[in-house]
Amino acid sequence: MRRFLTSVVAAAAAVSLATACGSDQSAAPAPTTTTTATAPSESATEDAPESPTGSPTTSPAPQEAPSATPEKLKRGVKGDRVVALQQRLTELGYWNGGEADGSFGALTQQAVYALQKAAGLTRDGVVGTKTQKALDQGVRPKAKSDDGRVIEISKKKQLLMLVNDGEVEQVFNTSTGSYERYEQDGASHIAATPSGKFTVSRQIDGWRDAPLGLLWRPKYFNGGIAVHGAYSIPPYAASHGCARVSIPAMNHLWKNGKIPIDTKVWVY
């Protein structure tokens, strides 16, 4: 009987010891897979093994969030960043009024249109990452003429350029013929700006109330086709055949004698 009781007690002690070892094993941290550049989860922090002193081991600090993208510059924005934009546009030859006043208005938008056209970007008039990169890289259109003073009008890029001996001095957003059909005096016409080499033959210093609309201070170079000022100069071809620029831009061209009579005009 004594031998039987002794065996029972020994077995019970063995069971108790096995249960305690099982508890130690379940408390040990399970192997985990480490993911690079990922902040530790709450559960991973709770299951981290303790150091010999009893304090939790230190988890890697999460990486800092990337800095915010700068605000896009567009009409209505004001400040030092706009001043820098206006100064850079002027430096590259994109006419935007000649004064860096820190206010993103219609003339700055026209200059941004011109830059975007030269760079082959979306013509939205907004300075985002790609347009800023074009500014930083100093993107400018190239001239086709190499001698004398020439007004070059690119129908593909919708740009008007003042060129002197092959160097582009100033660039303007322009809008040429849309090549859409329109009706006049019962006849159907195509709104075309013919390509070719011409010269300025006549001009009007004021408004011309033409059959197809108002022209501000037109400089005619091909029959009834002229470079002239207008209220609307979208970043795409929209005229009946003339090359539109903004009214302030046309005033600038007149005031500074940029397109006198006999000036060469290349359209391509």
Residue for token digits 């001996």? 165
Q: Are residues 191 and 160 in the same domain?
A: yes
Residues 241 and 263 in one domain: yes
- 163 and 121 share a domain? no
Looking at the fold, whether 182 and 255 belong to one and the same domain comes out as yes
Q: What is the rounded average pLDDT of the residues 217-231?
A: 98
Q: Is residue 15 part of a domain?
A: no
What are the tens digits of pLDDT across the range 73-107?
999 999 999 999 999 999 999 999 988 999 999 99
* Pair (170, 260) in one structural domain: yes
Residue 62 placed within a domain:
no
* pLDDT score recorded for residue 110: 98
CATH of residue 113's domain is 1.10.101.10
**Does 99 share its domain with 175?**
no
Q: How far apart are CA 228 and CA 219, in angstroms?
A: 6
Residues 107, 188 within the same domain: no
Split into its structural domains, the chain has a count of 2
Q: Is residue 3 part of a domain?
A: no
Of 56-60, 110-114, 121-125, the poorest mean pLDDT is in 56-60
- Concatenating the DSSP letter of every residue in 114-183 gives HHHHHHT----S-B-HHHHHHHHHT-----S--SSEEEEEETTTTEEEEEETTEEEEEEE-B-B---EEE
Co-location of 171 and 212 in the same domain: yes
pLDDT at 39: 36
pLDDT higher at 152 or 11: 152
- Does 183 lie in the same domain as 153? yes
Q: Which of 73, 113, 65 is nearest to 244 (CA)?
A: 113
- Tens of pLDDT, residue by residue over 146-178, are 999 999 999 999 999 999 999 999 999 999 999
Q: Residues 130, 153: one domain? A: no
What pLDDT does 13 receive? 37
Is residue 32 domain-resident?
A: no
Bridge partners, 77 (sequence order): none
- Looking at the fold, whether 105 and 161 belong to one and the same domain comes out as no
Residue 260 falls within a domain, yes or no?
A: yes
Is residue 257 in some structural domain?
yes
Give the CATH number, domain containing residue 196: 2.40.440.10
Q: What is the pLDDT of residue 44?
A: 33
Instruction: Identify the domain containing residue 239 by its residue range.
Output: 149-267
Rg of the chain, C-alpha, whole Å? 37
Q: How far apart are CA 82 and CA 60, in angstroms?
A: 41
Q: What mean pLDDT is reported for the chain?
A: 82
Cβ(50)–Cβ(57) under 8 Å?
yes
Same structural domain for residues 190 and 239?
yes
**Cβ atoms within 10 Å of 4's Cβ, excluding its own:** 8
**pLDDT given at position 55:** 43
